[in-house]
């Protein structure tokens, strides 16, 4: 069965991403067409990229990188839950992504963004990154507004239509993850 990670893309204290990821996971777990797991980058305590060799070499020397690699390798696709900070994804998520290369290849990714403008610019930023990593990013996305989907900018209360958006993202991530399985098996 396809395994999909729901990656929390913020490590900021008091972050909204944890509540959003739990909500996405709750919706995903109503399905029977894939397995879903929340992956919190904060739990991997990844310092600012500290490996002496580039990620494409796969020559990791640090235990935190090896643990991160093992976790990411175990999935067929990803749903990134990203905040928007200064028109981009969080530095913490970008750093976590940059630690690895081959582990991401030939997999699928979808996005759940949140911010003043629904995190759309953060998602566009991630789409560029995914292309370089040979990750097929899906068209559907979830755009959660701090003004309408959060009470007082922090209490997560998504609009009811957002659940349909989540399912569209998951549908596409599962489809593409299945389609890319052929390429992953060639490696």
pLDDT in tens, 36-67: 999 999 999 999 999 999 999 999 999 999 99
- Annotated domain spans of the chain: 3-186
C-alpha distances (whole Å) from 79 to each of 20, 50, 64, 76, 163 are 11, 25, 22, 11, 14
What is the dotted CATH code of the domain comprising 3-186?
3.40.50.360
- In this prediction, residue 185 carries a pLDDT of 84
Contacts of 79 (CB under 8 A, 6+ apart): 4, 5, 6, 7, 24, 28, 109, 110, 111, 112, 169, 170, 173
Low-confidence ranges of the chain (pLDDT < 50): none
- In this prediction, residue 186 carries a pLDDT of 74
- The DSSP 8-state label assigned to residue 85 in this structure reads B
- In this prediction, residue 166 carries a pLDDT of 98
- The answer to pTM > 0.85 is yes
DSSP string of 38-59, one letter each residue: EEEGGGG---SS--SS-GGG--
């Amino acid at each position: 069965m396809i395994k999909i990670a729901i990656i929390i893309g913020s490590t900021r204290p008091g972050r909204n991403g944890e509540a959003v990821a739990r909500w996405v996971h709750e919706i995903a777990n109503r399905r029977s067409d894939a397995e879903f797991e929340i992956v919190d980058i904060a739990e991997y305590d990844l310092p600012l990229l500290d490996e002496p060799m580039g990620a494409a070499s796969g020559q990791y020397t640090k235990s935190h990188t090896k643990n991160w690699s093992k976790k990411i390798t175990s999935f067929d696709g990803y749903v990134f839950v990203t905040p928007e900070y200064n028109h981009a994804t969080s530095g913490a998520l970008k750093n976590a992504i940059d630690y690895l290369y081959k582990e991401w290849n030939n997999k699928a990714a979808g996005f759940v963004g949140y911010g003043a403008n629904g995190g759309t610019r953060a998602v566009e930023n991630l789409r560029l990154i995914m292309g370089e990593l040979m990750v097929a990013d899906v068209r559907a996305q979830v755009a959660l507004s701090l003004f309408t989907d959060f009470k007082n900018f922090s209490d997560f209360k998504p609009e009811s239509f957002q659940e349909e958006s989540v399912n569209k993202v998951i549908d596409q991530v599962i489809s593409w993850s299945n389609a890319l399985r052929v390429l992953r098996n060639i490696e």
